Amino acid sequence: MNYSFFVRIFCIALACFIGWISPLHGKESAALKGRILDTQGQAVQGAEVYAYRSNKVKGPADYISNRTGADGIFTLVLPPGKYWVLGVFRKSGAKFGPLITGDKHSGEPIPMNVKAGQETERNFTVMDLREAARQIDKKSEELFKITGKILDKHGQPLPMAYAMAHLQPQLGTIPRYLSRWTDDTGRYILYVPRGTLFLGAALTFPVKNDYFLKNRIDVQGDMQEMDIIVMLEKK
Amino acid sequence: MPLIFLTFLVLLLIPCQSIAEVLTNDTVWQGEVDMKEDILVPAGVTLTISPHTVVRVWPSQSTKIDPEFISHRTEITVRGTLQIDGNSKGLATFQLGGENKGERWAGIVIDGGKVKSRYCTVEGAEAAFHVIGGSLELTHSRITDNRYGMIVQGKHGKVSLDTVAIQKNEYGVFLFNGADITRQQSEIARNSRKDIFESSAANNLPTPAPFTFTAADLTKVYGDESLPGETVWKGRVLIKGQVRIPLEGRLVIYPGTIVEFSKKDTNGDGIGENGLMIQGMFIAKGTPSQPILFRSAETQRKRGDWDAINILGSDAAQNLIEFCQVEDAYRGLHFHFSNIGVNHAILRNNYRGAQFQESLVEIRSSDFFDNISGIQARDSEVVFHGNRMVNNGHGASFFRLNLKAANNYFMRNRGDGLRIREGATVVEKNVMTGNRFGLIMADAVFGKVAGNIISQNLEGGASFRDTDNIEIQHNIIQANGLNGINLNNARSMITGNLISENGERGLGIIGFSGRITQNNIMDNGLYAIGLDDEKSDIDAAINWWGDSDLDKELFDRHDDQSLGKVIYEPQSKGPVPVAWSLPTINTDVSWSGSMRIADHVEVLPDAVLSIRPGTTLFFSPHAGMDIHGRILAEGTKEKRITFTSTNQQGASDWEEILLDRASGSRFVYCDFEYATWGIHSHFSDVTISYCRFRQNDGGIRFRSGPLEISHSLFSHNRIGLRAFRGTARIHDSIFTKNEIGIFVREQGDGLTINRNNIFANERYSIRLGDFNKEDVDARGNWWGGVSPLPTIFDGHQEEYIGKVMFEPYLNKQLKLAGGDSK
């Protein structure tokens, strides 16, 4: 008998004692219930919910729900506490390993607190991994793109300039919306919200507070070819 | 009671060891250990494995890689000390645990730490030992049933083996970039694919440089604070906590500002916790002359001294990070759900340069170097343009992005240059060179990989696994260590590529559906195409195979009845024109077959462009080349190299080959036609022999030199040769039927023009320019059987210019082949 055998006996004995006084013993568990759906709102059969005790979701899940039936309903009974939870559908039926083509999941794990004796309802939408990529559009719907060139007085593109937009024509502060420095093409992209703005460009940052933005624009959607002429020579 | 009984039964089966992620104290493992998470042994900490210990490593559930780790697989990373103390009666064993279904664990990664191991077995890993730096002493051990037995990178790692068997792995030992191991009584043998492989990246790859900064006075010190409203930073700012910018707040950092973070590490994991947490807006707008610096405030700055610039949920406008240098962080830049523009930034010496998800991100003209990983991103829309990823552990890893990656350089990264998983991606006009793997693409659909140079990667060029509808076109995939392209369950159209000079296979195929057509596939080490477990036939018609003996250079059913056939007929009758799409060449590249050059191409200093015998270059109008490195265009008598135009109309169809300080360049058996100038050389030592210059506006013009021009033909040009303050030896060549054979504009006393046939030029055989005061040595030539005086314009006609010294001259024509033969 080696050292590890005695360690194991001790662990078992300790666990028996802990089992006797376990917080679960005689106390209510928590339950998480809901449905697993696809992006069309249809139930996904054969999916599961994984719950982790920490946000380190690289290893096997601490708790796994039943596999959903045709109705997509899952139930997960677990001790009360905080978990990080996600929905997963594995085409192969495996329980381990990175997701592969054909699998679906609900994205980043969602932190949830589940309380003793309570049933928490939560649905999960699992996404086909390929479709998700083609639909990615991360621009806020509240913002529009204004594009164009920054030019000198001879119509030549100005590098190391930037576009700016503000709610008033006269700057008393650093403009609200700024583009990055232009390159040799003089092209800029400015992200702005809907509404009336005043547009201009500068060659130095920060620009002086008494700078005057000449171009008034009414932004109702994306705007192209909004060239800005700076009355300076290109050096 | 039943609960206790069940607990008793269950616990009989469960090992008692608990595993932490980052070891903060010296730790001993013994008995049976289930390792389900990565383990990091940081500097100053020792992990000891006792005899009889069995470590079962569970495969990872996820493809996430935390910044301090190397692989998405479960790994042990050693930056401190790992002591594996097996003995002859009780081995220490590392093996796969869990329900592995073919997955592997990463292995033991030695990243600057020390591993001393005896009587140990390691199995089931991607690489049993991966030495990036530090030392490994292995005695009386066995490494078996891994994908790689051992990988050693660079000269920084010291590895010694004593009575070690590395057997029955797929690959035994891979040594990269000058790595070496010492061994005695050790065997590296009977590994299924390869026992030992060595490969090194070229030394001439450029290295980015950091910005320089001017010291600044301390203007502000912050602890844990929230800054609502508008805050402006300038001068030097010291952060001793976490500074938060709430929603509606904005932090603006002026050019020239230095932001320093002191190290606070409350949990002892070696990673600093101070940083910026921004939910409002962030504008850090530096300039080239006044960049902005974010770094550790510690005296001995180390990677991970501070946390990150975190930007979360900020998409009310575009946040800007321009001309900024971010270093010594855990994650230099970290975004979620934000709109970010990164422009001319430097991210260096961080665990991870940038990490983001669910964001709209543009990263342009920025350098990522010396990070453990350059970038990791997921679920975002990304424009990635004009950046350099150099000398990182891994370059860029993109997961499920809508991505446009163009004009980037991925160089000398120890793992992958560019890894793409899932997503819709366009990868165009990038250079991937000197990495372990150039490009890895998995599970991606509807993408395009076009116009890239994927060359001289140490192990593999490009790998496509479980991909669908990817166009792979007009790439140069050459001189990679083993295979140029690996295809594993891939569906693609592969067309217009040059796949050449790869160490083993041009294309290695495990599973492929699609067409491989109209490529130039030639001069690969073992096979042009090699099938491996691929049972279906491969459609590879209408390719150009160069001089390949396809009986020997296709590995298919003819070699192994279990494989499919490579159907290569009909073959292309000549090289397929491959479009060259990059404006610069900064690494050694070779061209062969047929190349189309649509614009100006610059060969940067230290890069060598080799043009193989038989190659034809077709230049579009206004296209040409600027050589600042070297060009070696060495054809043969049977296979000349041709520089010509796409239009094939006449002189000045295309520009010129300009050499500027391109010493060591050589042109042998080359033909130049329809150029403005065939060769235009400044301050370069160039050799030109057996070449033909015909139907150009000018054949060669040069300044300085020295040039050696021999055994060449200049005919039907407006000017055959033009010299300006040049030094050259011109001999055994023919100048005929030009408007002017040789024009010496100025300072012609550096020229020696001997043993040539110079005759029947329309206006002059030799004309000296109005500013040429010196005499020109043109003795011993044949001038068409008559005195050359009437065909020379020199001081005989204009007093103040020099004279062509042509006497004595030859009465018999020299037998010269004029660029044809020795």
What secondary structure does DSSP assign to B740-767, as a single string? Answer: EEEEEEE-GGGEEEES-EEE--SSEEEE
DSSP B569: P
- Dihedral sign of CA atoms B16, B17, B20, B21 in order: negative
Q: Which CATH superfamily does the domain covering A143-229 fall into?
A: Immunoglobulins (2.60.40.10)
Say yes or no for a CB contact (<8 Å) between A101 and B98.
no
Q: Where exactly are the structural domains of chain A?
A: 27-134, 143-229
Q: Tell me which of B542, B577, B612 is where a domain ends.
A: B577
Tokens 């002591």, located at residue:
B83
Of B427, B502, B397, nearest to B460 by C-alpha is: B502
Alpha-carbon distance of B223 to B225, in angstroms, equals 6
The helices-and-strands tally (H runs, E runs) of chain B is: 2, 88
**A-contacting residues of B 39-68, CB under 8 Å?**
52, 58-64
Residues in CB range of B241: below 8 A, 6 or more apart = B222, B223, B224, B225, B264, B274
Structure tokens at B578: 């491959």
- pLDDT on residue A1: 45
Query: Which pair of structure tokens corresponds to residue B13?
Result: 């089966």
Chain A contact set for B445 (CB, 8 A): 130, 133-134
Does B232 share its domain with B192?
no
**What is the H or E stretch that residue A4 is in?**
helix A3-20
* Placement of tokens 């596939």 in the chain: B521
Are B244 and B185 within one domain?
Answer: no
- Give every CB contact of residue A6 below 8 A, 6+ residues apart in sequence: none
Residue pair B672/B693 in contact (Cβ under 8 Å)? The answer is: yes
A205 in contact with B, Cβ within 8 Å: yes
**Chain A residues 35-54 with CB within 8 Å of chain B:** none
**Rounded CA gap, B143 and B149, in Å?**
6
Residues B130 and B53 in one domain: yes
Of the two residues B18 and B512, the one the predictor is more confident about is B512
Probe site for chain A from B33, B318, B376 (most A CB atoms < 10 A)? B318
| Whether residue B150 sits in one domain with residue B105 | yes
Range in A166-180, B212-226, B246-260 the model is least confident about = A166-180
Option in A25, A60, A99 nearest B98 (CB): A60
Distance CA B489, CA B437 (A): 19
Q: Which residue would you say has higher pLDDT here, B3 or B246?
A: B246
How much of chain B exceeds pLDDT 90, in percent? Answer: 84
Please tell me the distance from the alpha carbon of residue B683 to that of residue B687, in angstroms, as a whole number: 13
Q: Which of A19, A97, A129 sits opposite B101 (nearest CB)?
A: A97
Q: Please give the pLDDT value at position B57.
A: 92
Q: Residue B625 falls within a domain, yes or no?
A: no
pLDDT at A128: 64
Confidence of residue A166 (pLDDT cuts 50, 70, 90): very high
User: What CATH number is associated with residue B192?
Assistant: 2.160.20
Contact B16 A137 (CB under 8 A): no
A179 contacts B8? CB cut-off 8 A: no
Over residues B551-571, the pLDDT tens digits come to: 999 999 999 999 999 999 999
* CB-CB neighbors (< 8 A) of A57 in chain B: 61-62, 64
pLDDT band, residue B18 (cuts 50/70/90): very low
pLDDT of residue B448: 93
Q: How confident is the model at residue A3 (pLDDT cuts 50, 70, 90)?
A: low
Residue A24, pLDDT > 50, answer no
Q: What is the mean pLDDT of residues A166-194?
A: 92
Beta-bridge mates of residue A223: A146
Does B343 contact A at CB distance below 8 Å? yes
Tell me, what amino acid is at A53? R
pLDDT attached to residue B61: 66
pLDDT attached to residue B73: 86
For residues B425 and A136, give the distance between their C-alpha atoms in angstroms, rounded to a whole number: 12
* Residue A90 Cα, gap to closest chain B Cα (Å): 12
Whether B448 and B490 share a structural domain: yes
- The pLDDT of residue B68 is 78
| Same-domain pairing of B151 and B267 | no
Question: Is residue B693 one of the residues assigned to a domain?
Answer: no
C-alpha–C-alpha distance, residues B302 and B328, integer Å: 6
Query: DSSP assignment, residue A103?
Result: -
With an 8 Å Cβ cutoff, is B226 touching chain A?
no
| A26 or B474, higher pLDDT | B474
| Upstream peptide bond of A206 is cis (omega within 30 degrees of 0) | yes
Q: C-alpha A203: how far from its chain's center?
A: 35
Q: Which string of b and e fits B218-231 if b means at least 16 CB within 10 Å?
A: eeeebeeeebeeeb
Contact residues on chain B for A99, CB-CB shorter than 8 A: 63
Are B244 and B302 found together in one domain? yes
Mean pLDDT in residue range B60-65: 68
The share of chain A scoring above pLDDT 70, in percent, equals 74
Copy the structure tokens of residue A56.
Answer: 């380190």
| Residue in A59, A180, A189 closest to B322 by CB | A180
For residue B808, whether the previous peptide bond is cis, meaning omega lies within 30 degrees of 0, is yes
B13 touches chain A (CB under 8 A): no
Residue where a domain terminates, one of B577, B610, B628: B577
Check if A1 contacts B (Cβ < 8 Å).
no
- Number of domains into which chain B is organized: 4
Contact across the interface for B16 and A11, Cβ inside 8 Å: yes
Rounded CA separation B702/A53 (Å): 74
Bigger pLDDT: B320 vs B203 = B320
Residue B781 has pLDDT above 70, yes or no: yes
Mean pLDDT, residues B284-297 taken together: 97
Distance of residue A109 Cα from the nearest chain B Cα, in angstroms: 12
Q: For residue B290, how far is the Cα from the chain centroid?
A: 30
User: Which residues of chain A have a CB within 8 Å of the CB of B343?
Assistant: 180-181
Mean pLDDT, chain B, integer: 93
- Chain A nearest-CA residue for B11: A12
Q: Does A129 touch chain B (CB under 8 A)?
A: yes
Largest alpha-carbon pair distance within chain A? 91
Report residue B72 CA to chain centroid gap.
22
B37: pLDDT confidence band, cut at 50, 70 and 90?
Answer: confident
Give the other-Cβ count within 10 Å of B26's Cβ: 14
Question: What mean pLDDT comes out for the span B496-512?
Answer: 95
pLDDT digits (tens, 9 = 90+) for B677-722: 999 999 999 999 999 999 999 999 999 999 999 999 999 999 999 9
Query: B61–A60: do the CB atoms touch at under 8 Å?
Result: yes
Query: What spatial distance separates the first Cα and last Cα of chain B, rounded to whole Å?
Result: 100
The answer to whether B8 contacts chain A (CB < 8 Å) is yes
Domains A27-134 and A143-229 share a fold: yes
Please tell me the predicted confidence (pLDDT) of residue B86: 95
Using DSSP's 3-state secondary structure scheme, residue B405 falls into strand
**pLDDT greater than 60 at residue B606:** yes
* Prediction ipTM score: 0.83
Q: Which CATH superfamily is domain A27-134 in?
A: Carboxypeptidase-like, regulatory domain (2.60.40.1120)
Measure CB to CB from residue A4 to each of B30, B60, B360 and give the nearest one. Answer: B30
B16 has a chain A CB within 8 A of its CB: yes
Question: Bridge-partner residues for B412, per DSSP?
Answer: none
Contact B381 A177 (CB under 8 A): no
CB atoms within 10 A of CB B610: 17
Residue A50 pLDDT level (bands cut at 50, 70, 90): very high
DSSP A108-157: SPEEEEE-TT-EEE--EE-EEHHHHHHT---S-TTEEEEEEEEE-TTS-B
Amino acid at position B329, single letter: A
**Nearby residues of B578 by Cβ (< 8 Å), 6 or more positions away:** B474, B476, B496, B497, B498, B520, B593, B594, B595, B596
Shared domain for B190 and B217, answered yes or no, is: no
pLDDT recorded at residue B15: 44
Q: How far is CA A139 from the centre of its chain?
A: 12
Identify the CA nearest to B567 among candidates B533, B593, B532, B529: B529
Mutation target to probe the A interface, by most A beta carbons within 10 A, among B1, B6, B7 is B7
Residue B671's pLDDT is: 98
Phi, psi at A133, each rounded to 5°: -65, -40
Q: What is the pLDDT of residues B109-150, one digit of tens each?
A: 999 999 999 999 999 999 999 999 999 999 999 999 999 999
DSSP B350: S
Confirm if B816 and B732 have CB atoms less than 8 A apart: yes
The string of pLDDT tens digits covering residues A58-83 is 667 889 999 999 999 999 999 999 99
Q: How many CB atoms lie within 10 A of CB B192?
A: 11
B372 and B442 assigned to the same domain: no
Q: At what angle do helices B2-13 and A3-20 cross, to 10 degrees?
A: 150
Verify that B311 and B453 share a domain, yes or no. no
pLDDT exceeds 70 at position A110: yes
Q: Say whether pLDDT at B315 is over 60.
A: yes
User: Are B769 and B791 in the same domain?
Assistant: yes
Of B162, B179, B199, which residue sits at a domain end? B199
Q: What is the pLDDT of residue A210?
A: 66
Answer yes or no: is pLDDT of A21 > 80.
no
Contacts with B712 (C-beta within 8 Å, 6 or more apart), sequence order: B688, B689, B690, B691, B692, B693, B733, B734, B818, B819
Partner residue opposite A181 with nearest CB, options B317, B343, B380:
B343
Print the domain residue range for B470.
Answer: 427-577
Q: Judge whether B283 and B311 are in contact, CB under 8 Å.
A: no
Are residues B495 and B358 part of one domain?
no
For the segment B448-470, the average pLDDT, to the nearest whole number, is 94
- Residue B607, pLDDT > 50, answer yes
Spatial distance between the Cα atoms of B535 and B513, rounded to a whole number of angstroms = 11
Is the CB of A224 inside 8 Å of chain B's CB atoms?
no
* Inter-CA distances, B170 with B139, B162, B441, B486, B680, Å: 22, 21, 22, 16, 52
| Six token digits for residue B484 | 């140029």
Q: Classify residue B192: in a domain, yes or no.
A: yes
Among B775, B730, B772, residue whose Cα is nearest residue B755:
B730
Is the Cβ–Cβ distance between B674 and B646 less than 8 Å?
Answer: no
pLDDT of B12 reads 44
**What confidence tens digit (pLDDT) does each residue in B319-353 have?**
999 999 999 999 999 999 999 999 999 999 999 99
Using the beta-carbon criterion (under 8 Å), do B315 and A143 form an inter-chain contact? yes
Give residue B499's pLDDT band: very low, low, confident or very high (50, 70, 90): very high
Q: Are B173 and B166 in contact (CB under 8 A)?
A: yes
